[in-house]
Structure 1
Amino acid sequence: MNKRQLFGLITAFVGSLVIGQAYSAQKKELSEQGFERYVSALRQEALEKGYPAEFVEQNFTRVTFHQRAVKADRNQPEVVETLDTYLPKRVPKWKVDRARDLYKQHFPLLRKIAEQYNVQPRFIVALWGLETNFGKIMGNYNVVSALTTLAYEGRREAFFKKQLWAAFDILQQGHIDIDNMKGSWAGAMGQNQFMPTSFLAYAVDGDGDGKKDIWNNQADVFASMANYLQQEGWDDEITWGRQVKLPAEFDFSLAIPKRTGGRKSWLKAWGEREKTLAQWQALGVRRADGTDLPKVDIKAALVFPDDEKGRVYLAYENYKALMHWNLSYYFVSSVGHLSDRIKFPPIK
C-alpha cells in the first residue's frame, strides 16, 4: 500500500467518524425536538379533556425527557434464576429482622388497619419491605416526566398515556404536588409503588386528613395496601399457600402452567384447576414434611414457580390477590415467605 492509498484510507476513516458523530448529534436533536412536539400535543389533549389551562401548563412546564427511563424499559435484565436462588436475595435475614422490628414499632396502627380491612398485618409489612425496602427506595423520577417519556417512546403509548392522565387526576385532587410526585422510572409511586391508576382505584386516606399520601404518611401507606388486598378478595382467615410434595407419577397437567399469557388467562387456568384440600390429599399431595394436608374446607391451586423439578406450592385464594398486585410467582412467593418469617416464631 503506497502513501497515497494509506492517506486515502485514513481520510475516509476520519470522515466516517465525523459523519457518524454528526448523525448521532442530529438524532439526539431530532429526539429532543420530537419530544417537545409530543408534549405540545399532550398539552392540547389535556385541555380537550377539561383540565384547566393553568394546571396543564404548571404540570408540563418542567417536564423533561428521561433517556434513562427509556433505556430501563427497553433493557430490563433477564437473569436466569430459580426460586432457590431468588428467595435468599429477596428475603435475607437482615430484612426479616427489620420487618419484625417495624412490625412491633407500628403494631398499634397495623392492628387498627387490619381490623378495618381484614388483612393480616404481616402481609402489609412484607409487601412494604419487598416493594421499597420499607419506604427507603421509592425512586426519584418525576412521575409526570417519566410517564410522558415512556408514552413518547411509543411501544406502550396507550398504557403510559392512561397512567399520565391518572397522575393528572391525582395532582388535581391535591394529594401531592408536582415537585414531590416522585417514583420509579416506570411511574410506580410511593412506599407501596402504586401506578397512578392503582392509586385512583385503591389508595385511601388512612388518618382522615383529607389526603391520600402514599409517599410520607404511614397510615395512608398501610391502609392503601390493605384496601388493595381487600378489594381483590383477601381472606384474613387463611394464609397465602404452602409448599408441598407430590407423589411419584403425578399428573402435572393438574397444575397451573407457568406461562399462561397474562392475568386473565392465569385466572382462567386457576378456575379450571383449583380443588379442595381433601381432593389434593386424595391425589397424594402432602405437606413439605410429608404429613397430611390440613383438614379445612378451602380450595387451592397447584403452582410451580420454576419447573416440575423445583418447588411446588398449593396456592390459596389470597395467592390470587397477591398475583393481582404483581403477576410473578417469584414476587408472590417472596411476599409469602417474608410474611411467614414475620409470623414464626410468634412475635411477643
Structure 2
Amino acid sequence: MTKWFTALAFLSGLFFLPDAAGEEKTEEGFSQYVAKLKAEAVEQGFDASFIERTLENIEFRATVIRSDRNQPERKITLDSYLASRVPDWKVQQAVEKLNEHKVLLDEIGAKYGVQPRFIVALWGNESNFGRIQGNYDVLSALASLAYEGRRETLFKRNFFAALTILSEGHASVDTFKGSWAGAMGQSQFMPVSFLQYAVDYNGDGKKDIWGTPADVFASIANYLSSEGWSDDITWGRQVKLTQSVEAFGLSSTLFKPLAHWHAQGVTRYNGAPLPTNDINASLIMPDGDKGRIYLVYQNFHTLMKWNRSQYFGVSVGYLSDRIKKGF
C-alpha cells in the first residue's frame, strides 16, 4: 500500500502519534498497553510462558494507525474501480487458476455448495491468487490499532483471536504476516473470521490459509456457505430501466421477484426481457441512476457480509462472470 507521508513524518511517527483527541501515542505508552494485553491474555487462559515468547518482539507500528486514519476518501466511479480491480490480465489468470485447480475446486464446490468461479474470484480479488498477502506483523498491527483506541474492542478481539491461532499451531509467530489491518493469508481473513470459518481441508492438522490451496479454497467456500450462499443461483446482473428511477424502490434490502421488476420495465442490459426464473432480487445503483444498475440476488448480500462495499461485491460478481465466459 502506498504511503503518502514524507520521510520526516514517518520517522517522527515511529516515536509518537497524536490520537483523535490530541493525546500522543508513544512507544512507552504502547509498552504499557502491551503489558495490559499480556495480563488479560493470561486471565483468558493463555499460558504465561507462551504469551511472553509470542509477544517478545511485538512493536508499535504508527504506520498502521496512519493507514487506518487516512483511508482514501476520494470518490471513484464503479467503472474506474472495476477497471482497476478486474483488469484483463487478472481475468486471464483467474481462468488459468480455475483450470489448474479444477479437480480440487469442483470437489470443494460440491461439498460446500459454492460455484468454483466465485471461490477463484474472491481469491483473486483478495490476494491476487495468493501473491499479495501483506508484510505486516499481525500481532504488532492489531495491538497498535487497539492501542490507538477508536476501535479498541474490535482490534482486541482480533488480537486475542490471533493468539489462539498461534497457540493452536496453525501458523508460526516468525512468519505471521498480513495486511496493515491484520487480515491474513490468501483469503485475507481477519483472525476472528479465521477461527469461525477456516478449514483444514487436507487433514494435516493446520488450517493453512497462507500456503495450502485446499485449505484456502475450502475456507472461502465455508465462509460463503455458512453465510447463506446458494449454488442454485448466481449473484445478479446488470440491467436497464425503462422509466424514471423515482418509480422504483431503491432499498437494497427490498427483495421482489424478477416478475415484479419485469412488470416495472426493468430489462437485461442488452434490452432483452429478464429471465422468468422464480428468483427474488433487489435493485442497486452504486453510482446513482447515471451509473451501472444491477438486480442482485441473495448471493450478492452474502458477498456484502464478506466486505460491506457494493463496489467490492460487484467486482467479485463481475470477475466471476468473466471467468464463466472463459475470458
Please report the TM-score for the alignment, with normalisation by the length of structure 1.
0.86
**How big is the shift at 1:24?**
9.2
CA contact (8 A) 2:255 2:282 kept: yes
Which residue of structure 2 lines up, in the alignment, with residue 259 of structure 1? none
Residue 305 (str. 1) matches residue 300 (str. 2): no
Which residue of structure 2 lines up, in the alignment, with residue 218 of structure 1? 213
Q: Which segments of 5 or more consecutive residues in structure 2 lack a partner in the other structure?
A: 1-11, 18-23
Residue 327 (str. 1) matches residue 308 (str. 2): yes
**How big is the shift at 1:79?**
2.4
Cα 1:96–1:27, aligned 2, differ >3 Å: closer, same or farther? closer
Residue 336 (str. 1) matches residue 294 (str. 2): no
CA contact (8 A) 2:15 2:27 kept: no
- AA aligned to 2:272 is T
Give me the CA root mean square deviation.
1.8
Residue 138 (str. 1) matches residue 138 (str. 2): no
**How big is the shift at 1:30?**
7.0
Larger Rg: 1
CA contact (8 A) 1:241 1:315 kept: yes
Which of 260, 264, 274 lines up with 1:293 in the alignment?
Answer: 274
Equivalent runs, 1:1-348 vs 2, <5 Å:
27=16, 31-251=26-246, 254-256=249-251, 270=253, 273-345=254-326
String of CA shifts for 1:242-273, please: whole Å, max 9, x gaps.
001112234355022xxxxxxxxxxxx51xx1
Name the structure with the higher helix share.
1
Paired-residue identity, %: 55
**How big is the shift at 1:25?**
10
Query: SS of 2:294's equivalent?
Result: strand
| Alpha-carbon separation, structure 1, partners of 2:271 and 2:51 | 62
Q: Which runs of 4+ in 1 moved over 6 A?
A: 23-26
| Alpha-carbon separation, structure 2, partners of 1:308 and 1:70 | 36
Query: SS of 1:37's equivalent?
Result: helix
Cα 1:186–1:30, aligned 2, differ >3 Å: closer, same or farther? closer
- AA aligned to 1:156 is R
- AA aligned to 2:56 is T
Please report the TM-score for the alignment, with normalisation by the length of structure 2.
0.91
